[in-house]
Structure 1
């Protein structure tokens, strides 16, 4: 009888062991089963996200780390291929699966406008440009394409979309926002369904969803109010009532929750003086309890470190506020030791730990990581493929906003004559892929020059006009440029250097690199089109605006400069409208549609369109 009892007990244990590994079991049953088997050390490990440079068997197998990410610019090697990325992630996955319970890692990256860490990937326009299209279906299709290029590199999770509502263009992350208008941001939040797939009928809002191995886990960010900080300061303070916070900044998250967004990232910023990383009211009471979010809340990079010089307090305050996974990202051993101490001492209830780990496991089960932990090598050929570049082409041309077309409204300057004898292309941004792409491209702050594979505006113009037209390119034209030469017209492309986050905060928003002087000089010599490549509006003095014949806002278009030439030469019509107010002077900021005494240079939603007979109309 004793032997029979032992045998029965063993059989029962075998059934229990299989439960969380059985894909036919309900997700919640698998979560509960796995959680019941975990030690505190294993739970703590799941709550840590570490940078790829410190990932090792000791961390993933020995310390049960639950997630790995790469900083923008951190790669297996310079210009690493998608296959090399996939091999790296797969190796880390093997380390994780060798742990006692075999819980797979979830690997995350900042793929915010395409898989922008991967050399040769398709780089789409930044969000401000997509907001100019007002095209939610386009956003969804870009999400689908990005998901494929991310999964091709073995990565499961993108820290996108940013659904901030930018209320002040001085903010260094203005280009990461679709618009100053909440409703536009809500429309563009459809990119979540592109990343993750469209939820099935009967899906409950707030419950995480992922369609399959060709989709990628999305992350709505940065919760909440990051686009409304005082004077547009990055990581600053959003000062408003709760009613305004809900009306302006929270509403896009409702659209993300309805689409089953799996993860949400906390903001570095404050709301009325309280840092979001320790704001229990907003993270737990509002997001989780009231709005019903069942996925995981992740901190931003070293986001909890901002709370105090006392690291244990940082851990306690953030986790008790409701953050489930901490983007550590380097000193994970200290984090695990301090977290364990805080739980054992009672400062963090074990119930809070269990809630956090349940949410992490839920996302991992929903995303199919237990069944498909390794990369899908059949996707390698989609990276930078023709279909995706054509989609980016479409996004670029739809994002262009025509602000002026001719000195005489009855005589439009655009489209340009592709049969012109000689044209001048000038300006710092005419032949620079790095500037076209902006920040969060290959490196965190972006760069200049041939940073990745793509077509510059100059190259696109040359291709559009063919060999019959002489294209003279001079970044900074001088008197000698015009000596004994006649130009039919000039295209001057100006803008800012690439930047990201705090480095992009500005109190002055003039055109840099002596851009205004270049425009003025050229416009005094020859009819001139100006293209502004920028993540936000820049100061354009009325006297300068009068000099130019046409003005186009191209935002940060990414790798496919051909989309610009398509519209300039009339193959497609202008469609974009301003996603943000184009101010007259920084002294007027902040200025948003609906404000009293609203008097911009160009209002929110402005954009000229060209009809079949080339007449312009708003």
Structure 2
């Protein structure tokens, strides 16, 4: 018998290898067999580009991730992803104790790193729906697409309560209102599955192979920083932090969320990545969280200036504060060398290491990774499937917020006439899938253009779908309607008296995190000027594609006939046409306050001097029998 066979025979009799044993027994047994080096390896998460066979087989690395835009190859197929991740897993299972890796990705509005996957509206749009069941179904659909590619773990949902739209991650927040965010945490049960009645709060739960490990983020107060600065400082007393920002985590814990990611930001000057009071005393001890706490990308590096210059201090302060897994992601060799030194020198106690590794192993056992470490390729046809795209289309319909509909209540401008003689469509966002999807789409910050493709397979062949707003309009109107598109229409075009009305679609560039911090919040690409230019000559509907409210000049609102906030709707533009032309009515309600001028910010419902342009919860209906909601 070879050494490999001897080891396999030995391990087959271990408690931790027996799925019939309790999870806690398996955790205890495996932990007792691990060396210090193996324990610290489990606490290490590395980027896929540095995950060599040697590293995985010899260092007992606990987790691999891909950064935004880090892909196996350009336009990689779902099976390409599965092949890559399975190859990593094969190497990990050659390690001494055969502990599987957990592979993580930022699937924050669908499986958004994968070409051809369904891209759902970003969270701000989902918050406008107020539909917890819809959001749970989106979580379940996303989980299927994630698991098809071999990924086990998504860094979602973001349960930040965005108190200032100047924040570059505003679109990752469901709302400025804590209760709305709490309602939308139902996505956790969609991703992980619904835990059985009586499941202990704080104990991780993953239902099976069609579900994924979820991650509530970013703990805590990331949406409440001063002036909305990304990675900034939330200046507020603990009772406000608890009531506004911690509250959604209670709902996540009740649903068995398996991991929690720490925020880059600070609370009253204390960096969250080294805040023992919040990470250990509150999250773990008071709230009873039994899953693992993970850092953000190079998050511990922010604990010294320049970033990571005193790496041992960064490691020590974060681990002792309660960090369980560190998203390194590249310099794992220095991380592990320094980490071993800190433990062997007595700076970091072994009790803290054992606690962290117990938590990581618990999640791996709960998720069934020891029994099913590889991709379930029977799910591959679920990626971008028609059913998921119809779900995304439903989400788009329900997320649209109608802010103006004509000047005479008895003569609403919407719904539009499908049989109009000629429709002018203008604005670069009308036919740009990348801007429609926003950040965290194929790449980290996203971008304009055909960044992905709308496809689904019916079991026989691939179908290519129209997904931009322009394509959706063309597919909706009657055969005799002429739809003309000019990004920037000329005066000659606008002088055409056959034009029944114009649809002008403007909005933001794609961005993510600090790239989106914005102190002015003006409509980019001369969007205001374009709308006014068209509206002066043609009856006009304006649609705003954005991750947050932007400045709407009084003159602009006065000139246009109707205005729709469409947020960042994702890949299914048909959902917008469904509502514009009256197949469905508007349902969306503002998830955030729409300010008049930037100088009012921060301004939230219930606060002092609340004087919005449109209040939280505002949304009109086309059906005149239905009163505006406020």
What is the alpha-carbon distance in structure 1 between the residues aligned to residue 479 and residue 627 of structure 2? 29
What is the alpha-carbon distance in structure 1 between the residues aligned to residue 413 and residue 569 of structure 2? 22
Superposed CA offset, 1:140-177 (max 9, x none): 00000000000011000000000000000000000000
What is the alpha-carbon distance in structure 1 between the residues aligned to residue 495 and residue 28 of structure 2? 79
Alignment partner of 1:374 is 2:394: no
What is the alpha-carbon distance in structure 2 between the residues aligned to residue 492 and residue 15 of structure 1? 65
**1:410–1:615 CA contact under 8 A, matched in 2:** no
**1:412–1:615 CA contact under 8 A, matched in 2:** no
What is the alpha-carbon distance in structure 1 between the residues aligned to residue 200 and residue 82 of structure 2? 33
Q: Please state how far the C-alpha of 1:467 moved relative to its aligned partner.
A: 2.8
Pick from 194, 200, 203: which aligns with 2:196?
200
Secondary structure class of the residue paired with 1:581: coil
What is the alpha-carbon distance in structure 1 between the residues aligned to residue 228 and residue 349 of structure 2? 37
Q: Please state how far the C-alpha of 1:101 moved relative to its aligned partner.
A: 0.2
Give me the CA root mean square deviation: 1.3
Equivalence map 1:390-401=2 (5 Å)? 390-401=390-401
What is the alpha-carbon distance in structure 2 between the residues aligned to residue 515 and residue 610 of structure 1? 25
Q: Please state how far the C-alpha of 1:595 moved relative to its aligned partner.
A: 1.1
Secondary structure class of the residue paired with 1:598: coil
Alignment partner of 1:516 is 2:512: no
Q: Please state how far the C-alpha of 1:486 moved relative to its aligned partner.
A: 2.4
Residues 354 and 597 (structure 1), Cα distance of their counterparts in 2 relative to 1, 3 Å cut = same
What is the alpha-carbon distance in structure 1 between the residues aligned to residue 504 and residue 627 of structure 2? 23
Match in the other structure for 1:5: none
Secondary structure class of the residue paired with 1:20: helix
Alignment partner of 1:482 is 2:494: yes
Superposed CA offset, 1:474-527 (max 9, x none): 001121212445210000000010000000000101111000110001000111
Match in the other structure for 2:3: none
Residues 289 and 615 (structure 1), Cα distance of their counterparts in 2 relative to 1, 3 Å cut = closer
Q: Please state how far the C-alpha of 1:16 moved relative to its aligned partner.
A: 8.9
What is the alpha-carbon distance in structure 1 between the residues aligned to residue 51 and residue 13 of structure 2? 28
Alignment partner of 1:181 is 2:193: no
- Unpaired runs of 5+ in structure 1? 1-9
Indicate the larger mover: 460-469 or 97-106.
460-469
Residues 597 and 201 (structure 1), Cα distance of their counterparts in 2 relative to 1, 3 Å cut = same
Match in the other structure for 1:32: 28
Secondary structure class of the residue paired with 2:402: strand
Alignment partner of 1:570 is 2:582: yes
TM-score by length of 1: 0.97
Superposed CA offset, 1:234-275 (max 9, x none): 000000000000000000000000000000000000000000
Match in the other structure for 2:210: 214
Q: Please state how far the C-alpha of 1:466 moved relative to its aligned partner.
A: 3.5
**1:539–1:585 CA contact under 8 A, matched in 2:** yes
Residues 15 and 116 (structure 1), Cα distance of their counterparts in 2 relative to 1, 3 Å cut = closer
Match in the other structure for 1:365: 365
Q: Please state how far the C-alpha of 1:408 moved relative to its aligned partner.
A: 1.4
Alignment partner of 1:290 is 2:286: yes
Secondary structure class of the residue paired with 1:430: helix
Secondary structure class of the residue paired with 1:116: coil
Secondary structure class of the residue paired with 2:429: coil
Alignment partner of 1:457 is 2:469: yes
Match in the other structure for 1:581: 593
Q: Please state how far the C-alpha of 1:596 moved relative to its aligned partner.
A: 1.4
Secondary structure class of the residue paired with 2:121: coil
Equivalence map 1:496-535=2 (5 Å)? 496-535=508-547
Match in the other structure for 1:6: none
Secondary structure class of the residue paired with 2:431: coil
Pick from 158, 161, 167: which aligns with 1:165?
161
Indicate the larger mover: 479-488 or 124-133.
479-488
What is the alpha-carbon distance in structure 2 between the residues aligned to residue 519 and residue 178 of structure 1? 28
Residues 280 and 616 (structure 1), Cα distance of their counterparts in 2 relative to 1, 3 Å cut = closer
Match in the other structure for 2:385: 385
Number of equivalenced pairs: 607
What is the alpha-carbon distance in structure 1 between the residues aligned to residue 626 and residue 97 of structure 2? 66
Alignment partner of 1:50 is 2:62: no
**1:287–1:293 CA contact under 8 A, matched in 2:** yes
Equivalence map 1:94-243=2 (5 Å)? 94-243=90-239
Residues 134 and 399 (structure 1), Cα distance of their counterparts in 2 relative to 1, 3 Å cut = same
**2:217–2:262 CA contact under 8 A, matched in 1:** yes
Alignment partner of 1:428 is 2:440: no
Equivalence map 1:329-368=2 (5 Å)? 329-368=329-368
Q: Which runs of 4+ in 1 moved over 4 A?
A: 13-17, 612-618
Secondary structure class of the residue paired with 1:418: coil
Match in the other structure for 1:406: 406
Match in the other structure for 2:481: 469
Pick from 551, 554, 557: which aligns with 2:569?
557
Residues 390 and 359 (structure 1), Cα distance of their counterparts in 2 relative to 1, 3 Å cut = same
Indicate the larger mover: 506-515 or 477-486.
477-486
Superposed CA offset, 1:418-461 (max 9, x none): 00000100012000000000000000000111111130000000
Q: Please state how far the C-alpha of 1:15 moved relative to its aligned partner.
A: 8.8
Match in the other structure for 1:66: 62
**2:589–2:629 CA contact under 8 A, matched in 1:** no
Q: Please state how far the C-alpha of 1:617 moved relative to its aligned partner.
A: 7.1
**2:11–2:17 CA contact under 8 A, matched in 1:** no
**1:148–1:382 CA contact under 8 A, matched in 2:** yes
What is the alpha-carbon distance in structure 2 between the residues aligned to residue 357 and residue 223 of structure 1? 20
Indicate the larger mover: 449-458 or 100-109.
449-458
Secondary structure class of the residue paired with 2:45: strand
What is the alpha-carbon distance in structure 1 between the residues aligned to residue 43 and residue 158 of structure 2? 23
